[in-house]
Structure 1
């Protein structure tokens, strides 16, 4: 029985690396841009407004826990990327990797938006506006667009079947 090229190609490791990297990096964008630069919210700002030093310190602590979690996701994603790059059966596809990154970032936005903004009400995208819903919906909508773009790129990457020789880890 003869193996075809598609039987020898495994895209899963590169896609998994891209998704974890995308979720971690998307979390960093959220934390750096929305928490620190724009200061629109903190992890607990809807429940514990940072209007005094104690509340601000508690929010800062939970922002740090959040950053530690997205750092771990990014580090694991890098490890998976390294492992995928050492495998001869994994095609090195920019479309698959970038598609995975967009999927991960989109998943981060959708999951974080649904859980933290809607279900738990820990914070909203912009705590300092009267109408928070448009900001939260825009965050979810951006996440959905990232998911769509990621799916399209991953689908396009299915045509990238060139495998490489094994590289040393």
Structure 2
């Protein structure tokens, strides 16, 4: 088995955890723009934020255990890992903006403002992270093919 999937998934989980943490810390706590669930009381919103925060930390910590194992085995592929990070971050942000904001209506980025500019920035940022992440993943695959670097590891 190659280290490619483990690098990808570790970076992907870290990207999800990182973006979720930034979302929760900046938009929920510092700016008070929304809670994870805004269709009830402030207390319910705060509890939902707590669960969201716990989710982001579980994803982050789990990914760092995977990264630690990769580094211990000498199988960390930084370009592949960062590609996974951007893919996870952009994918989560796109999911949040489309599924949670629009389809499920759990919350919006902001209330009582013209939401269109916020949505545009949200979606452009998401898509850019996904495109750059995919480019890094493709480049890392080509780079290892051209250099003949083996991604196999006996313990993986």
User: Shorter chain as normaliser: what TM range?
Assistant: 0.7 to 0.9
Deviation sequence 1:103-151 (CA, Å, 0-9, x none)? 110011011111110111111111241x223312321221111000111
Q: Which residue of 2 aligns with 1:25?
A: 18
Q: Which residue of 2 aligns with 1:68?
A: 54
Runs ≥4 residues deviating over 4 A: 162-167
Task: Provide TM-score, normalisation by structure 1.
Answer: 0.79
Task: Provide TM-score, normalisation by structure 2.
Answer: 0.85
Whole-Å separation in 2 of the counterparts to 1:59 and 1:68: 14
Whole-Å separation in 1 of the counterparts to 2:121 and 2:152: 41
Over the residues paired in the alignment, what is the CA RMSD in angstroms? 2.3
Q: Which residue of 2 aligns with 1:52?
A: none
Q: Which residue of 1 aligns with 2:130?
A: 147
Count of residues in correspondence between the two structures:
150
Instruction: Describe how 1:72-151 pairs up with structure 2 within 5 A.
Output: 72-87=58-73, 90=75, 92-129=76-113, 131-151=114-134
In terms of fraction of residues, the more helix-rich structure is 2
Does structure 1 conserve the Cα–Cα contact (< 8 Å) formed by 2:34 and 2:108? yes
Does structure 1 conserve the Cα–Cα contact (< 8 Å) formed by 2:3 and 2:152? no
**Where does structure 2 lack aligned partners over 5 or more consecutive residues?**
none
Deviation at 1:86, TM superposition (A): 3.5
Q: Which residue of 1 aligns with 2:9?
A: 16
**Where does structure 1 lack aligned partners over 5 or more consecutive residues?**
1-7, 49-54
Q: Which residue of 1 aligns with 2:36?
A: 43
